Amino acid sequence: MPAKKGSDEIVTLLSNEKINEKYFKLVFSSPGLSRHAAPGQFLHMKISLGTDPFLRRPFSYYRVAGPKIEVLYEVLGDGTRILCRKKKGETVKVMGPLGKGFAGNIGKKKRLLVAGGVGIPPLVFLAEKYSAEYLLIGTKSKAEVLPKKELRKVKAGILHSTEDGSWGSRGRVTALLEKVIMEEDPRGLFIQTCGPKPMMRAVMALAHKYGIEGEASWEESMACGVGACLSCMVKTREGLMRACADGPVFKFEDLEP
């Protein structure tokens, strides 16, 4: 879905809580930031109204319900470490919706969603807005698995895999994906994926093996979020493209393997 003109505004946090051993969920309300949001698009957040941290951080839309927006994130660096300490009533500056999202209309094909790690937010949004055959979720361990209440509105069969076998199938999510593919007619499938790049490359390799079309949310480090700084270039078969403006969602066929 193409990007639409968004908003840039200061929002007040309704909540910002840890929901499992790994992830936090932040909630705020904004008609401007929610009105045209589509699964796969992102928000660019200035965590502090001062200069530390100076650059904004990109976050996928996790869930949109009316004006209310939810963001799921993991503490990975200084920015998210500051963010996780913010309380209800504090503010952040947010720009969005930005970027190109996932395709909603895939015709009569069955939708397979493949999430790895913290790549799950846009796929939960997608599976709540449009039905899918399966949502496959791969994590390292049970510590990363979302509580069941976080997935209750997902319109798809949910299958888990963990690398240590502590929840669902043991192994990588791509093994689970190939098992599902072999039980279906590959010609009638469409894959949409988000997660670590090695995982997405493995997903695309399986898609190529079985002749399946699909899309991947291919993110790079984003400074401006609007395509001006050229810091988030992605190698495609058509040359370098901007993850923030031309993506972050790209067709498998357009990405270099």
Convert the pLDDT of each residue in 146-203 to its tens digit: 999 999 999 999 999 999 999 999 999 999 999 999 999 999 999 999 999 999 999 9
Confidence at residue 97, expressed as pLDDT on a 0 to 100 scale = 96
pTM, two decimal places: 0.93
- Residues contacting residue 26 through CB under 8 Å, at least 6 positions apart: 13, 15, 16, 70, 71, 73, 83, 86
Domain presence at residue 146 = yes
- Number of other residues whose CB lies within 10 A of the CB of residue 48: 15
Same domain, residue pair 118 and 39: no
User: What is the reported pLDDT for 249?
Assistant: 97
* Domains: count for the chain: 2
Cβ atoms within 10 Å, residue 233: 14
Instruction: Return the pLDDT at 70.
Output: 98
Tell me whether residue 159 is in a domain: yes
Report the candidate in 80, 38, 70 with the shortest Cα–Cα distance to residue 149.
70
Strands 91-98 and 42-46: antiparallel
> Are 58 and 117 contained in the same domain?
no
Q: Which domain holds residue 140?
A: 110-217
Which of the listed residues 77, 98, 119 is the one where a domain comes to its end?
Answer: 98
59 and 117 fall within a common domain: no
Q: Name the residue among 205, 213, 211 with its Cα closest to residue 250.
A: 213
Within a domain: residue 207? yes
Whether residues 136 and 212 share a domain: the answer is: yes
Q: Last residue of a domain, which of 39, 68, 98?
A: 98
Give yes or no for a contact between 175 and 183, defined as CB atoms under 8 angstroms apart.
no
Rg (CA), the chain: 18
Q: Which sign does the torsion angle of CA 100, 102, 104, 106 carry?
A: positive
Nearest to 38, CA basis, from 131, 127, 126, 124? 126
